[in-house]
Amino acid sequence: NAGVTQTPKFQVLKTGQSMTLQCAQDMNHNSMYWYRQDPGMGLRLIYYSASEGTTDKGEVPNGYNVSRLNKREFSLRLESAAPSQTSVYFCASRIESGLYNSPLHFGNGTRLTVT
Amino acid sequence: TQLLEQSPQFLSIQEGENLTVYCNSSSVFSSLQWYRQEPGEGPVLLVTVVTGGEVKKLKRLTFQFGDARKDSSLHITAAQPGDTGLYLCAGPTGNQFYFGTGTSLTVIP
C-alpha cells in the first residue's frame, strides 16, 4: 500500500553539486509530476510526464531535468545545485492527465537545502 | 504571477468559529480541486468541483464552485483543532495542474 514513494527524504548539497531525486508509484498511473513548494508560493510545477516516454516543462523548469524511466518511475535531476533550489520537492501521479477530475496522489516530499 | 490566488494566506481562529477560504483566478477551469496538507506530508484531496455553481458538503466543510468557473470557496463550520493545516486549491490546464498559493489555517483549542 505504498502509493507514491520519494527518496531521499532529506538532502543537503553544496552549490554546484548534482543529485537525482527518485520517485516511484505503484498505482499503475499514467501521469507523473514534479512540484516544488516554497513558503507563500503554494506548489509550482517543474516538469510533468503525461505518459510513459513523454516529458514536458511546467512553470519553473530552469535548472532541472527529468527522466521517465518507465511507467512507475519519474526522476528529477539537479545538474548544478544553486541556493535558489532550496525547497521541498513533491512527486505526484494521476491515473490519466486527460481525466480532469482525477486526483493527484502525492509522496511525502524531499527536503533539499543547498548551501 | 500565480494562476490561482488564495486568500487569506494565514488564518488563526478559535475552536468553534466559522471561516471561509477563497480561491480566485482570471482563467476558466473545467474543474477545481481542494487539497489539505499536514506538516511533513504531501497534499491529500478533499473534493473536486466540476459544474459552475456546484456546492459540495463534506461534514463541516462546504465547497462552492463559482458560476463562471473562475473561483471557488471553502467554508468550515465550527472549526476544530484537527482542521489545522494548509489548504490548497488546484485546477487543470491542458496536461498541467496548477496550485493556488495556499491558506495556512491554525485552529486554537
Distance set, CA A109 to CA A15, A68, A72, B97 (Å): 21, 18, 17, 18
A114 to chain B, closest Cα gap in Å: 19
Q: Quick one: closest CA in B to A91, which residue?
A: B42
Is the CB of B92 inside 8 Å of chain A's CB atoms? yes
pLDDT at A88: 97
Which of B4, B41, B45 is the closest to A103 by Cβ?
A: B45
Give the whole-angstrom CA distance, residue B9 versus residue B22. 10
Q: Quick one: closest CA in A to B88, which residue?
A: A42
Q: Which of B108, B107, B103 is nearest to B10 (CA)?
A: B103
**What tens digit of pLDDT does each residue of A36-69 get?**
999 877 899 999 998 898 999 999 999 999 999 8
Confidence of residue A2 (pLDDT cuts 50, 70, 90): confident
Q: Are the CB atoms for A34 and A107 separated by under 8 Å?
A: no
Is the CB of B96 inside 8 Å of chain A's CB atoms? yes
Q: Is the confidence at residue B89, as pLDDT, over 70?
A: yes
Mean of pLDDT over chain B: 93
Confidence of residue A34 (pLDDT cuts 50, 70, 90): very high
pLDDT at B3: 82
